Structure 1
């Protein structure tokens, strides 16, 4: 028996050495999951409530959840750059809460059209420009440019409110930093103002110059001689004051502007010769003695007929108060070294 076992053991050893051992079953790996090899699909989004939302925010929100958008105004016209529009959402083609296929395009209606937005933007830009367009420089001296104490403002109403209003002798005006000699282009309603000056017989050969004259008429009361300051033909000055009344009818000197606009002669005069009723109003006048002055000296006045005859006259060597004279329509009046006469009755 022992002889039989020995050869069997030897045979088993030889088989093992030659790789002939008992075969074992291969180990099984982890089963392959087919779903992990496919990208995870997000569910279709639901339409959020964007009514009343700013259009830019609405675009960002819908884009984030996978909804494409197109915008139009209440006029039905599409926006070229909807996300930049400063508007709010008025309506959407898909109701809030509705499931929308990913990538689907939803139409958003805004509360304003692109044309309306452009007009609003232009109006805002113009208002900003107009706020500082007019520069008024007023002075109590005869020099606008050398007077370091000159009053400067962008609003003629500030001139009226200035404590120096009564002392200002002149105001200079520029448009956007440019004078009339630069001939700046008109903007906003400025052309309408100039067109009205032209329609009333005014000189608009330099449109910016005509506009500046209107603004000057709004800044200070018309001085003596303003009626004829633009040369022959009072309609040239009347045209300016008519437009000035449209622009600054609340001026504290609006009554004087109205007088000039209506073609009525003035009720104040300096030394000179006048036809009563044409160049000066009829009535009773008195010389206004300047503050601090020692009366009136060497004043001569004369009333004349239409043919030049003397009706009445007087030479005043000295008068503590200004002389008084009554003049009548149709006659002439002469004043020499008397100063300024104002009607008192």
Structure 2
């Protein structure tokens, strides 16, 4: 007798076999191969960047297949807002020159930090503005006079020689008008102040110095002003601004020469002992040397001296001069 399987049991067996056959599709399917890993990039050698302008150094790295990161200054701080120009030089790199590396980026250290560069840029901008800040008119304050754009233009003009006076404007304004100073102007004011000059109105002092650079009176070295100490301080300022002026020698003479003007002096107190001489062509000049009691040691009335008058004075004496103008110490 043949055994029979109940229909319900047969159905269960068929379902079980079907489930077992589909529980692991990968068993019958072809196993996919693992994806190929990317091949490693060959290492590159970092070029020597030391001494190159930053843009050139950055370009050299790009040419070698590197990326340039934000540069850093000698203090290790990153440049954040400025882009180094040709005046900023590469000092070193990381990785260093000659290193073979698979790194994609190289960091350059430069010879200047960003704050120093910012200050340098400000000074450069001021320098450009200063070139057009001062204008001159010769003759002074003549509305029909041409405008000269620098003291060098005054030197080259027909107004430089002779007694013609010039005026100066600072950004189109009279020097007596207070204005903010550029850093270079402030440095000039500080110099003049350190020499004992008057800087109570800085723009006026700047104007006086710029006029000294443009031209001076023919008798400038022999001029007498109420505050010779202020005058000498301004001369020192002018020589710092325009040491190459055609009249720089006269400025130096006025700064260093010992001058004595008409009046009564005590030798050793009001004037130095030594030998003095007037300008050539002096007329109607009277001078006298006196002792402590007022007695005359020597005197002379010079009606006309083509070569000038000469006198030697000694400590403790009195010296009196009338209509002799200025005496210059010569020994």
State TM-score, norm by structure 1. 0.57
In structure 2, the residue matched to 1:333 is 323
**Alignment partners' CA distance in 2, 1:33 and 1:55:** 55
Moved more, 191-200 or 65-74: 65-74
In structure 2, the residue matched to 1:133 is 133
Q: CA deviation at 1:32?
A: 11
The one of 147, 158, 163 equivalent to 2:144 is: 147
CA contact (8 A) 1:59 1:69 kept: no
For residues 192-235 of structure 1, give each alpha carbon's deviation from its aligned partner in whole angstroms, at most 9, with x where no partner exists. Answer: 32233333332211011112112212221235588345xx3332
Whether 2:101 is the aligned partner of 1:98: answer yes
Q: CA deviation at 1:59?
A: 8.3
Q: CA deviation at 1:266?
A: 7.6
**Alignment partners' CA distance in 2, 1:333 and 1:68:** 79
SS across alignment from 2:168: strand
For residues 10-40 of structure 1, give each alpha carbon's deviation from its aligned partner in whole angstroms, at most 9, with x where no partner exists. Answer: xxxxxxxxxxxxxxxxxxxxx99978xx899
**Alignment partners' CA distance in 2, 1:70 and 1:283:** 70
SS across alignment from 1:169: coil
In structure 1, the residue matched to 2:215 is 220
The one of 216, 234, 242 equivalent to 1:248 is: 242
SS across alignment from 2:223: helix
SS across alignment from 2:281: strand
C-alpha spacing 1:40/1:189, structure 2 compared with 1 (3 Å): same
For residues 16-67 of structure 1, give each alpha carbon's deviation from its aligned partner in whole angstroms, at most 9, with x where no partner exists. Answer: xxxxxxxxxxxxxxx99978xx899686475464643765684897699796
The one of 182, 186, 192 equivalent to 1:187 is: 182
Map of 1:1-345 to 2, 5 A cutoff? 44=41, 46-47=43-44, 49=46, 51-52=48-49, 58=58, 69-81=69-81, 84-86=83-85, 87=88, 89=90, 90-93=92-95, 97-100=100-103, 106-139=106-139, 143-148=140-145, 150=146, 152-154=148-150, 156-167=151-162, 169-222=164-217, 224=219, 227-229=223-225, 232-262=226-256, 264-265=258-259, 274-275=262-263, 282-283=277-278, 285-286=280-281, 303=286, 330-333=320-323
Q: CA deviation at 1:312?
A: 6.1
**Alignment partners' CA distance in 2, 1:112 and 1:331:** 62
CA contact (8 A) 1:93 1:108 kept: no
CA contact (8 A) 1:276 1:333 kept: no
SS across alignment from 1:125: helix
State TM-score, norm by structure 2. 0.59
Q: How many residues align?
A: 268
In structure 2, the residue matched to 1:3 is none
CA contact (8 A) 1:47 1:98 kept: yes
C-alpha spacing 1:196/1:39, structure 2 compared with 1 (3 Å): same
Q: CA deviation at 1:313?
A: 9.4
Gaps of 5+ in 2: 1-28, 295-299, 312-318
C-alpha spacing 1:74/1:39, structure 2 compared with 1 (3 Å): farther
**Alignment partners' CA distance in 1, 2:74 and 2:307:** 73
Q: CA deviation at 1:183?
A: 1.5
